[in-house]
Amino acid sequence: MRKLIGKELAEAIRTQTAAEVAAGPRPRLAVVVATGDEASLWYVRSIAKAAAGVGIAADIVDLGPAARPEQIRESLVRLSADTGVHGLMLQTPLPPGASAQELAGAIDPRKDVDGASPLSLGRLAAGLPAFVPATAAAVMALLDHHGVELAGRRAVVVGRSAVVGKPLAHLLLDRHATVTVCHSRTRDLASVTATADVLVAAVGRAGLIGAGHVAPGAVVVDVGTNPTGDGGLTGDVDAAAVSARAGALTPVPGGVGPVTTALLLRHTARAANLP
Amino acid sequence: MRKLIGKELAEAIRTQTAAEVAAGPRPRLAVVVATGDEASLWYVRSIAKAAAGVGIAADIVDLGPAARPEQIRESLVRLSADTGVHGLMLQTPLPPGASAQELAGAIDPRKDVDGASPLSLGRLAAGLPAFVPATAAAVMALLDHHGVELAGRRAVVVGRSAVVGKPLAHLLLDRHATVTVCHSRTRDLASVTATADVLVAAVGRAGLIGAGHVAPGAVVVDVGTNPTGDGGLTGDVDAAAVSARAGALTPVPGGVGPVTTALLLRHTARAANLP
């Protein structure tokens, strides 16, 4: 079985992005945070560190876990209007009562480097130019990097979130795959996922996808990043079981994750160079 | 086999809409047209006539088949700003070089009664309130009217347009169906469509779906409206062949079509009553 590793691709994207950044004024990314969740805070700090590595300034705008939705919206409106900020993200989770989908509408689509606003999602669905959610874009980039063909093939996406599953379904359709979206209410999940030439798991449930869910030789992409007891990460795919059956599998960590962060930086550099 | 007729539901929607309209100021729908296509012009006139029937004023803004994209955009911007207009539609086809998806972005989302703008599509995909494309909404209304269960069932949509196939996929996902989208590049279409409990054909190719595409007892919805040589309409489904196998089928004409027009009027009445 092939391991679809993300490291080499992520490095290539970062190198290219660093060159783009060096050629112009310094891009700035602002990340709005309103959580005490340690894993999210760690992730945001890792983005800021990666940004610094390619010459992008990153501001973490921490509103604290008690922020009200109006405060978050005001912050997004202010940063959208700030000409010194080129990329703008809203980190989840948010405090109870705050809807990420609704609030992301306050992000200027030209700064929406993680494709979170409904307008970005709609432009993607309509086949118009838009920033694509970095995780969904990373899945496509990883498949392309490893030469996985999509046209005419069966793709099954497990998970229907507006940040991964749905945009990914549109991206796979654009590439002429026949696309099925499954979710928690799907009956006999294994019988559906076993029809996939390309199977993407994006649910957030460790070990959900076992050997019985995978057709022999299928390409399996694991978007899950579930914390393990020992401070590590594990995916939605039972890698040990699936390895014996799949044709290819992305590792967790080291598969989709590093490419996602690299694409977020590329998007920020591109946002800084929009006419 | 049950015939899923749209007439009764369309009448009920029109009656309810007429009552809503009678209770307030007269709603006005503007339809921008830039084509010489006779079938489209006939359709637009039929909308205007149906609008009159429920007390809605309808203006056909005919820019002619030689209209430039900028002219169409200006017209949409002007009508979006016109407080006397509550609903606004852009009829297709458009002149060569004009993109319906791109131009529809100029429609105020609060007047976008046919859910054509990328923002409306994105809000639908993100699970936020939005006007839904009338045809996609009509499919769902017809399924509900005839008591077709969706949660946990397999739905297959043939057609990936931004006006029918894609919004419908989102609506079916919201109702907890497991959704597959097929298209012209799908390999062995019949093997995919035959897995459907609910099969929707929205391609625009007469007779595409035959008996071999349909599982015994499946519910089949025919969105196709293909002109016949004698001035009539025929669907994407070979009704004679499929009738012997399907559990239920929408007729063409008389299925999805009348419900679509009725919902367009309901959306216009609702747009006029937005706070």
ipTM, 2 dp: 0.96
Mean pLDDT of A166-192: 98
pLDDT band at A231 (very low <50, low <70, confident <90, very high): confident
Residues B158-171 have pLDDT tens digits of 999 999 999 999 99
Helix A7-22 and helix A38-53, axial crossing angle in degrees, nearest 10: 50
Instruction: Tell me whether A28 touches chain B (CB under 8 Å).
Output: no
From A101, A152, A192, residue closest to B127, measured CB to CB: A101
Residues A18-54 have pLDDT tens digits of 999 999 999 999 999 999 998 899 999 999 999 999 9
Give burial (CB, 10 Å; 0-12/13-18/19+) of A8.
Answer: exposed
Mean pLDDT of chain A: 97
DSSP percent split of chain B into helix, strand, coil, nearest 5: 40, 15, 45
B108 CB contacts (<8 Å, ≥6 apart)?
A: B80, B81, B88
Q: Are B86 and B271 in contact (CB under 8 A)?
A: yes
Give B183's contacts in chain A (Cβ within 8 Å): 173, 176, 178
Closest CA to B183 of B150, B208, B206, B207: B208
A225 is in an annotated binding site: yes
Looking at residue A39, its pLDDT comes to 85
The residue of chain A with its CA nearest to that of B104 is A126
Residues B11-23 have pLDDT tens digits of 999 999 999 999 9
Residues A128-177 have pLDDT tens digits of 999 999 999 999 999 999 999 999 999 999 999 999 999 999 999 999 99
Token duo for residue A7: 């490291």
Instruction: Classify residue B231 as left (phi > 0), alpha (psi -120 to 50) or beta.
Output: left
Give B179's contacts in chain A (Cβ within 8 Å): 180-181
Q: Tell whether the model's pLDDT for residue B39 goes beyond 90.
A: no
- Residue A175 vs residues A103, A148, B33: alpha-carbon distances, Å: 30, 11, 32
Which of B107, B108, B176, B179 has the most A C-beta neighbours within 10 Å, making it the best mutation to test the interface with A?
Answer: B179
d(CA A33, CA A72): 9
Q: Tell whether the model's pLDDT for residue A1 goes beyond 90.
A: yes
In the numeric block, the tokens 């983005």 are attached to A47
Helix B256-272 and helix B7-22, axial crossing angle in degrees, nearest 10: 10
**B183/A181 touch (CB, cutoff 8 Å), yes or no:** no
d(CA B169, CA B175): 10
Instruction: Tell me whether B223 touches chain A (CB under 8 Å).
Output: no
Instruction: Tell me whether A68 touches chain B (CB under 8 Å).
Output: no
In three-state secondary structure terms, B111 is: helix
Looking at residue A55, its pLDDT comes to 98
d(CA B44, CA B48): 6
d(CA A209, CA A236): 6
Size of interface A-B (CB pairs under 8 A): 104
Mean pLDDT of chain B: 97
Looking at residue B231, its pLDDT comes to 85
Closest CA to A156 of B154, B197, B162, B159: B154
Q: Tell whether the model's pLDDT for residue B218 goes beyond 90.
A: yes
Q: Are B64 and B98 in contact (CB under 8 A)?
A: no
From A151, A166, A185, residue closest to B125, measured CB to CB: A166
d(CA B127, CA B161): 19
pLDDT band at B208 (very low <50, low <70, confident <90, very high): very high
Mean pLDDT of A170-198: 98
Polymer length of chain B: 275
Residues B58-107 have pLDDT tens digits of 999 999 999 999 999 999 999 999 999 999 999 999 999 999 999 999 99
From B101, B126, B162, residue closest to A101, measured CB to CB: B126
**A152/B182 touch (CB, cutoff 8 Å), yes or no:** no
Query: Domains, chain A, ranges and CATH?
Result: 25-108 (3.40.50.10860), 134-257 (3.40.50.720)
Token duo for residue A146: 């490893």
d(CA B79, CA B101): 17
The fraction of chain A above a pLDDT of 70, given in percent, is: 100
**B122/A120 touch (CB, cutoff 8 Å), yes or no:** yes
* Secondary structure (DSSP) of B154-200: EEEEE---TTTHHHHHHHHHHTT-EEEEE-TT-SSHHHHHTT-SEEE
Q: Which amino acid is at A30?
A: A
Which of B164, B174, B178 has the most A C-beta neighbours within 10 Å, making it the best mutation to test the interface with A?
Answer: B178
Instruction: Tell me whether B152 touches chain A (CB under 8 Å).
Output: yes
Q: Tell whether the model's pLDDT for residue A78 goes beyond 90.
A: yes
From A121, A162, A178, residue closest to B182, measured CB to CB: A178
Token duo for residue A234: 């594990």
From A101, A160, A178, residue closest to B192, measured CB to CB: A178
Mean pLDDT of A101-113: 98
The β-bridge relationship of strands A226-227 and B2-3 is: unpaired
The fraction of chain B above a pLDDT of 90, given in percent, is: 97
